[in-house]
């Protein structure tokens, strides 16, 4: 199967359009290996014919065969214990009070994978309020795109890897340790979670479980491969389903990615949570300056004047202007001195430079507005892109999930600016977004090696260590990030969103650090 063929590329694009998942080159290879078997099973000789059937008459299940191959299902019980702690100490009480016994409080784990997340919610409610309240006053919903993983979630049978967080005695009280070494969740909890298939890229109208509003949504670690455009649409859908004063939880290292203005970002004792709130009844929102990290937003940047882009064309243009002036000298003024060639060249170079800088300014504006294609078009027209231009282009490609193009630009940065840490930072980000953790760590380390004072790779290393449960290493990296930001306020930092201020980043990292320190002390004590 030729992955480069237009038909195969159309197949991948259809998956992205339908499910939001952008297919990396490695995933293309995985899918391509699987296609011939499916084609022969259904009696197709040509891929084009199979694709026509797949896009038309085939059932959803046929697409789902492919989805199962490429989704990341990593999860475990009580992941990010801090989220469960604030539910326990504050939010569940608040939601119960708001429902006032007139309706059930509906908690929804969206992108639930093998079920550890919704079952953690159910165990928490059960341990806090007892069995009757869990049954009569709460409804726990859990959805995923992947039917196979939902099947595994319904069986509620787990291996040791699902129990990475040690707090609570939940293993002893809610699971039976089977002779096979697996752990079976007790029926009383299992029966309280309602699993169903839902693709977040689709409308909710036809989903029976989502006809009523929900009080709280866990949407954690699902959208990492989504484009900015898809993420916005999904956010709109989710927030429309939330009751007023309802909550949206995302993974803490995804907070900035999700801060797109639809819901209020609120700070609950160190954990960031989004809340649907009326302006008259706003919760205390996170305070930060909307200053920019990559050049700031300005009200208006004029388009570059219609000056020819190439040196030769510009030289010709200026000569033409000069010659026309010479041809009509004014009698009152002294004849204009014909400028020396070097003077002309200087004028031309200055004009081109100014024009080129304006292109970068415009591109940054487009980037701030998530207009990634326009950002790229503007910078592609530059004669000699700078390191900053290349990193903006790589970032725009990354935002469009074009990993190969982003990597090509990164290679160019590393070759042209071999002593700059920015190329390796970008490389790390590309690997990180594709879950190639080891390669990402190596690239971030290399970036640090080239500039020991560069905060950004430390931040990303911190998030990787946090995600993989290496808390002391995460603490170390976040502490270093804070120290370095403090030391050098002006450095260029490219985080998930480019238009966030250093103050905001500092605030977020401080909170992340506090959360992890709490988690870690909880674990070792
Ligand atoms: C890494 S797991 C996250 C599990 C859990 N939320 C957690 O944080 O531990 C991501 C899950 O999102 C699901 N997913 C990916 N794209 C989706 C989509 N378009 N609609 C619904 N679920 C999706 C995947 O099938 C996978 O099970």
Dist CA 253 CA 497 (whole Å):
12
367-408: per-residue pLDDT in tens? 777 788 888 988 988 878 898 899 889 988 887 888 899 999
Q: Is the pLDDT of residue 416 over 60?
A: yes
Question: Quick one: pLDDT at residue 344?
Answer: 64
Decide: residue 236, CB within 10 A, 0-12 exposed, 13-18 middle, 19+ buried: exposed
The answer, yes or no, to whether any atom of ligand 1 lies below 6 A from the CB of 200, is yes
Q: Do 51 and 103 reside in the same domain of the chain?
A: no
Is residue 76 in a domain?
Answer: no
Positive or negative torsion for Cα 343, 345, 349, 352: positive
Supply the DSSP symbol for 185: E
Q: What's 493's domain CATH number?
A: 1.25.40.10
Q: Is residue 298 situated within a structural domain?
A: no
- Domain of residue 117, CATH code: 3.40.50.150
Residue 295 lies in a domain: no
- Within a domain: 290: no
Q: Report which ligand 1 atom has the smallest distance to the Cα of 67.
A: 25
What was the pLDDT predicted at 256?
Answer: 60
Shared domain for 219 and 345, answered yes or no, is: no
Closest CA to 113 of 175, 167, 71: 71
Whether ligand 1 lies within 6 angstroms of the CB of 117 is answered as yes
Residue 104 lies in a domain: yes
The answer to whether the CB of 74 is under 6 A from ligand 1 is yes
**How many structural domains compose the chain?**
3
Residue 466 CA to ligand 1 center (angstroms) comes to 19
- Count of other CB atoms within 10 angstroms of residue 230: 20
Cβ(467) to ligand 1 under 6 A? no
What pLDDT, in 10s, does the model give residues 6-31?
999 999 999 988 988 888 888 899 99
The partner residues of 105 in beta bridges, in order of sequence, read 138
Q: Which atom of ligand 1 is nearest to the CA of 199?
A: 20
How far is it, in rounded angstroms, from Cα 231 to Cα 224? 9
Q: Are residues 133 and 193 located together in one domain of the fold?
A: yes
What's the pLDDT at 519? 72
State the DSSP H helix or E strand holding residue 11, giving kind and residue range, or none if neither. Answer: helix 6-19
* Segment 274-287 mean pLDDT: 54
Q: Hey, which residues does 218 pair with through a beta bridge? A: 109, 249
Residue 287 lies in a domain: no
* CA atoms of 384 and 318, how far apart (whole Å): 21
Q: Is residue 62 part of a domain?
A: yes
Mean pLDDT (the chain) is 80
Same domain, 389 and 510: yes
pLDDT tens sequence across 125-175? 999 999 999 999 999 999 999 988 999 999 999 998 898 776 557 777 899
Give CA–CA dist 77/201, Å, rounded.
Answer: 26
162 and 141 inside one domain? yes
| Cα 192 to Cα 118: distance, rounded to the nearest angstrom | 10
Residues 375 and 393: beta-carbon distance below 8 Å: yes
As to burial, measured by CB atoms within 10 angstroms (0-12 exposed, 13-18 middle, 19+ buried), residue 473 is middle
Question: Using a 6 Å cutoff on CB, does residue 20 contact ligand 1?
Answer: yes
pLDDT in tens, 334-363: 444 555 666 666 666 666 666 777 788 888
| Two tokens, residue 400 | 């469009």
Whether 467 contacts 479, CB under 8 Å: no
Contacts (Cβ under 8 Å, ≥6 apart) of 93: none
Co-location of 206 and 351 in the same domain: no
Q: Are residues 33 and 105 in the same domain?
A: no
In a domain, 75, yes or no: no
Q: Which of 194, 24, 198, 205 is nearest to 111 (CA)?
A: 198
Say yes or no: 106 and 213 in one domain: yes
Are 190 and 319 in a shared domain? Answer: no
Q: Is 360 exposed, middle or buried (0-12, 13-18, 19+ CB in 10 A)?
A: buried
Verify that 482 and 368 share a domain, yes or no.
yes
Distance CA 158, CA 41 (A): 33
- 417-468 confidence digits (pLDDT tens): 888 888 999 999 889 888 788 899 999 988 888 887 788 889 889 988 888 8
> How many C-beta neighbours within 10 Å does residue 202 have?
14
Helix (H) / strand (E) element for 199: namely none
| E-only strand ranges, 70-224 | 105-110, 138-144, 157-158, 175-177, 183-185, 193-197, 214-218
Residue-range definition of the domain harbouring residue 130:
81-281
Does residue 217 line the site of ligand 1, with CB under 6 A?
no
Ligand 1 mutation pick, 18, 209, 222, max ligand atoms within 8 A of CB = 222
Report CA(113)–ligand 1 centroid distance (Å).
6
Across 111-225, the runs of DSSP E, i.e. the strands, are: 138-144, 157-158, 175-177, 183-185, 193-197, 214-218
Assess whether 176 and 239 both reside in one domain. Answer: yes
31 and 63 assigned to the same domain? yes
């Amino acid at each position: 199967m030729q992955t480069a063929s237009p038909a195969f590329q159309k197949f991948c694009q259809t998956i992205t359009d339908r499910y939001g998942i952008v297919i990396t080159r490695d995933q293309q290879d995985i899918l391509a290996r699987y296609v011939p078997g499916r084609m022969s099973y259904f009696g197709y000789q040509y891929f084009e014919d199979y694709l026509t059937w797949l896009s038309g008459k085939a059932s959803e299940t046929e697409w789902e065969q492919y989805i199962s191959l490429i989704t990341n299902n990593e999860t475990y019980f009580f992941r990010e214990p801090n989220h469960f702690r604030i539910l326990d100490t504050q939010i569940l009480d608040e939601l119960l009070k708001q429902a006032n016994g007139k309706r059930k409080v509906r908690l929804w784990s969206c992108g639930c994978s093998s079920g550890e997340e919704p079952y953690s919610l159910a165990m928490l409610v059960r341990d806090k309020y007892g069995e009757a309240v869990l049954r009569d006053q709460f409804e726990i919903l859990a959805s995923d795109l992947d039917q196979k993983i939902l099947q595994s979630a319904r069986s509620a049978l787990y291996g040791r890897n699902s129990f990475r967080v040690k707090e609570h005695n939940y293993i002893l009280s809610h699971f039976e340790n089977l002779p096979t070494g697996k752990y079976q969740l007790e029926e009383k909890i299992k029966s309280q979670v309602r699993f169903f298939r839902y693709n977040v890229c689709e409308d909710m109208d036809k989903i029976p479980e989502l006809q009523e509003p929900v009080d709280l949504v866990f949407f954690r670690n699902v959208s990492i491969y989504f484009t900015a455009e898809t993420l916005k649409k999904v956010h709109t859908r989710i927030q429309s389903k939330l009751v007023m004063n309802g909550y949206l939880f995302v993974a803490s290292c995804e907070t900035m990615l999700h801060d797109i203005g639809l819901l209020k970002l609120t700070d609950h004792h160190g954990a960031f949570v989004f809340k649907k709130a009326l302006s008259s009844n706003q919760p205390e929102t996170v305070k930060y300056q909307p200053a920019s990290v990559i050049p700031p937003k300005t009200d208006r940047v004029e388009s570059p004047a219609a000056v020819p882009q190439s040196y030769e064309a510009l030289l010709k243009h200026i000569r033409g202007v000069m010659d026309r002036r010479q041809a009509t000298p004014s009698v009152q003024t002294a004849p204009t001195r014909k400028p020396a060639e070097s003077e002309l060249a200087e004028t031309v170079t200055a004009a081109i430079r100014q024009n080129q800088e304006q292109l970068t300014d415009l591109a940054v504006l487009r980037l701030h507005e998530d207009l990634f294609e326009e950002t790229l078009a503007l910078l592609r027209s530059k004669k000699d892109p700078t390191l900053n231009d290349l990193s903006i282009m790589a970032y725009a490609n990354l935002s469009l999930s074009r990993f190969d193009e982003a990597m090509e630009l990164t290679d160019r940065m590393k070759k042209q600016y071999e002593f700059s840490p920015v190329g390796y930072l970008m490389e790390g980000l590309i690997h990180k977004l594709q879950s190639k953790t080891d390669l990402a760590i190596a690239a971030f380390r290399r970036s640090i090696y080239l500039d020991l004072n560069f905060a950004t790779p430390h931040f990303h290393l911190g998030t990787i260590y946090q995600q993989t449960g290496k808390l002391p290493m995460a603490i170390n990296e976040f502490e270093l990030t804070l120290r370095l930001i403090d030391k050098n306020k002006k450095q260029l930092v490219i985080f998930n969103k480019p238009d966030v201020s250093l103050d905001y980043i500092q605030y977020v990292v401080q909170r992340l650090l506090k959360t992890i320190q709490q988690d870690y002390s909880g674990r070792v004590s």
